[in-house]
Amino acid sequence: MLRATLFTATLTSLASAHTAAWAKGMYCKGGADPNTENLNTNTAVNPLYNLTKEKWWFQHDRGCDLVPPPTGEFLELPANGNFTVELAHNRAQTTLSYDGKFASDWLDGKEHPDDWNSWEGPGSACLDDGALHAYNETNAAGTAWAISYESDVTKVTMENLVMFSTLQHTPWKRMATYQVPDLPACPEDGCTCAWLWVPDGCGQPNMYMQPYKCTVTNAQSTTPVAKARAPVYCAGDASKCVQGAKQMIAWNQLDGNNIETGDGSSPGYHEKCGWANGAQTDIFGRPGAGNLGSPL
């Protein structure tokens, strides 16, 4: 009953906007038409739901996987450092458009109190920015990044795309800073990254997977990332959590799903699926084992 109410209550606001990470290196930065630079695009923000893997994989449903950034433009990931992107519902609400004059501290370009919260107990409406899929900051499910050492986006697989950073209680404000583990250098043409999010309730149970060209700066280590294994929902029993390199969460799609919660709750990029907050330091394989070392 509660579920149905929440779903209907949030549909109208959800129709208006969702969320993407905006930064150098993103695909579809100017929209899905490579010949037009749309400063007011929201093509990259729309969620993935009930799609075949061919369609959800790197936003192929809207053609974003075919619109890479200009040659040589990368999202830079400093090894053992951090990087910042802008989370927003539209490029216009970031500093990538109009000199940032429509950007605020928040994802929707508006002002909100720091303790913004719509939770008043069961049956509460979600925040009126429905695209946040949340009642308040603690309820924001967490967003994440994964990296593949393949430069060619068509060579990226679930096994070579390894989760390397999570940021709890996001998306919340526009600026989001993620920590980077001791990643080795990328090939000359860069790596392929994905920005990821699975909201926890407050609307359609969907997921986000957005393609990026990325590269690792200040790399010191030569230890490759290990082959990624599917995460396991391990709420309440940490012994069930998968250790080491993990795959992104593929959930609520027509096919290609790799996780089930069994209890009707959403999986997400947090401890209930085996991710500690921040840089994932346990994702590396044996030195010299190639870019896909054995799972630890």
Ligand X SMILES: *[C@@H]1O[C@H](CO)[C@@H](O)[C@H](O)[C@H]1NC(C)=O
Question: What are the residues binding ligand X (CB under 6 A)?
Answer: 50, 81-82, 117, 119, 135-136, 138-139, 177, 254
Strand 143-148 to 191-197 pairing? antiparallel
For 164, the token pair is 């390397």
254 vs 276 by CB, closer to ligand X: 254
**What minimum distance in Å lies between the beta carbon of 280 and ligand X?**
15
For residue 222, the minimal CB distance to ligand X (Å) is 22
Pick the closer one to ligand X by CB: 21 or 292. Answer: 21
Closest approach, Cβ 249 to ligand X, in A, equals 18
Nearest-angstrom CA–CA distance, 177 and 244: 23
Compute the least distance from the CB of residue 202 to ligand X, in Å.
Answer: 8
Identify whether the C-beta of residue 185 lies closer than 8 Å to the C-beta of residue 219.
yes
What is the arrangement of strands in the sheet containing 82-88, beginning at the earlier edge strand? Answer: 20-22, 82-88, 175-179
User: Which contiguous run of DSSP H or E holds residue 62?
Assistant: none
> Minimal distance in Å, beta carbon 24 to ligand X?
17
Cα angle 63, 69, 71; round to 5: 130
- 95 vs 117, beta carbon nearer ligand X: 117
Compare residues 30 and 203 and give the one whose CB is closer to ligand X.
Answer: 203
**Tokens 């991710």 correspond to what residue?**
275
Smallest separation (angstroms) from ligand X to the CB of 199? 11
| 128 Cβ neighbours under 8 A, 6+ residues apart | 13, 118
| C-alpha–C-alpha distance, residues 150 and 153, integer Å | 7
CA distance 89 to 85: 13
- Which CB atom, from 98 or from 119, has the smaller least distance to ligand X? 119
Cβ-based nearer residue to ligand X, 27 or 164: 164
